[in-house]
A and B are shown apart, each in its own frame.
Chain A
Amino acid sequence: MQDIDTDRIIPARYLTVTDRTGLAEGLFADWRLDEQGHQRADFPLNQDDARGAQVLVAGENFGCGSSREHAPWALVDNGFRAVISTSIADIFRANALKNGLLAIDVPPESLQELLDSGFGTVTIDLAERRVDLPGGTSVTFEIDPFARDCLLEGIDEFGFLRSHEDAIAAFERRLGSLT
Chain B
Amino acid sequence: MPSTLYDKLWDAHLVRPETIDTPGVLYIDLHLIHEVTSPQAFDRLRSEGLPVRRPDLTVATMDHSTPTRRDAGGNYLYVTDQARTQVEYLVNNCAEYQIRLYELGAPEQGIVHVIGPELGLTQPGMTIVCGDSHTSTHGAFGALAFGIGTSQVAHVLATQCLLQRKSKTMRVLVEGNLQAGVTAKDLVLALIGQIGVGGATGHVIEYAGGAVRALSMEGRMTVCNMSIEAGGRAGLIAADETTFEYLSGRPHASSDGELDAAIERWREFHSDAGAPFDREVTMSAAEIEPMVTYGTNPGMSIPLRGVVPSPDGDPAVERALSYMGLEPGTPLIDHPIDVVFVGSCTNSRISDLRSAADILRSRRVADGVRMVVVPGSAAVKRQAESEGLDRVFREAGAEWRDSGCSMCIAMNGDALEAGQYCVSTSNRNFEGRQGRGGRTFLASPLTAAASAVAGSVADPRELLG
Give A residues with C-beta under 8 Å from B. 1-3, 5, 7-8, 11-13, 15-20, 30-31, 35, 59-61, 64-70, 87, 89-91, 94-95, 98-99, 144-146, 149, 157-158, 160-162, 164-165, 167-168, 171-172, 175
Contact = CB atoms under 8 A, between A and B. Distances in A.
A13 B37 CA distance: 13
Given A15-B36, A16-B86, A89-B231, A61 B197 contact: yes
Nearest to B20: A145
Nearest to B261: A179
A158 B315 CA distance: 40
B411 A17 contact: no
Contacts of A99: 151
A146 B23 contact: yes
A15 to B, nearest CB: 5
Given A11-B432, A64-B231, 6 more contacts: A20-B40, A66-B428, A90-B201, A91-B133, A161-B163, A164-B15
Nearest to B38: A18
Given A16-B65, A64-B198, A157 B163 contact: yes
Contacts of A171: 15, 27
A5 B40 contact: no
A58 to B, nearest CB: 12
A25 to B, nearest CB: 14
Contacts of A19: 39-40, 43
B242 interface: no
Contact of B437 (A35, A61, A98): A35
B198 A67 contact: no
Contacts of A59: 316
Given A30-B436, A35-B418, A167-B25, A15 B411 contact: yes
Given A7-B431, A16-B80, A69 B165 contact: no
A179 B86 CA distance: 38
Contact of A67 (B37, B162, B297, B430): B37
Contact of B158 (A5, A162, A167): A162
Given A69-B150, A144-B23, A18 B89 contact: yes
A172 B13 CA distance: 10
Nearest to B80: A16
Most chain A CB within 10 A, of B43, B132, B133, is at B133
B133 A66 contact: yes
Query: By CB atoms of chain A within 10 A, which of B154, B315, B409, B418 has the most?
Result: B409
A175 B161 CA distance: 14
A22 to B, nearest CB: 9
Contact of A167 (B16, B147, B202, B233): B16
Contacts of B85: 16, 18
Contacts of B149: 67-69, 91, 94-95, 98
A160 B161 CA distance: 12
Nearest to B89: A18
A67 B148 contact: yes
Contacts of B316: 1-3, 59
Contact of A95 (B43, B151, B154, B430): B151
Interface residues of B, number: 65
Contacts of B202: 90
Nearest to A175: B27
A8 B323 CA distance: 13
7 contacts: A1-B316, A7-B431, A18-B89, A67-B148, A69-B151, A87-B201, A91-B148
Nearest to A96: B149
B433 interface: yes
Query: Which of B43, B430, B433: most chain A CB closer than 10 A?
Result: B430
B8 interface: no
A30 B131 CA distance: 24
Contacts of A87: 198, 201
Given A35-B437, A90-B233, A16 B147 contact: no
B319 interface: yes
B40 A18 contact: yes
Contacts of B322: none
A146 B158 CA distance: 21
Contacts of B430: 5, 7-8, 65
Q: Which 5 A-B pairs have the closest CB atoms?
A: A69-B149, A61-B198, A18-B39, A95-B149, A67-B147
Nearest to A165: B159
Nearest to A62: B198
Contacts of A149: 21
Contacts of A5: 297, 428, 430
B231 A90 contact: yes
B315 A65 contact: no
Contacts of B418: 35
A141 B436 CA distance: 36
B27 A91 contact: no
Contact of B428 (A17, A65, A160): A65
A69 B85 CA distance: 20
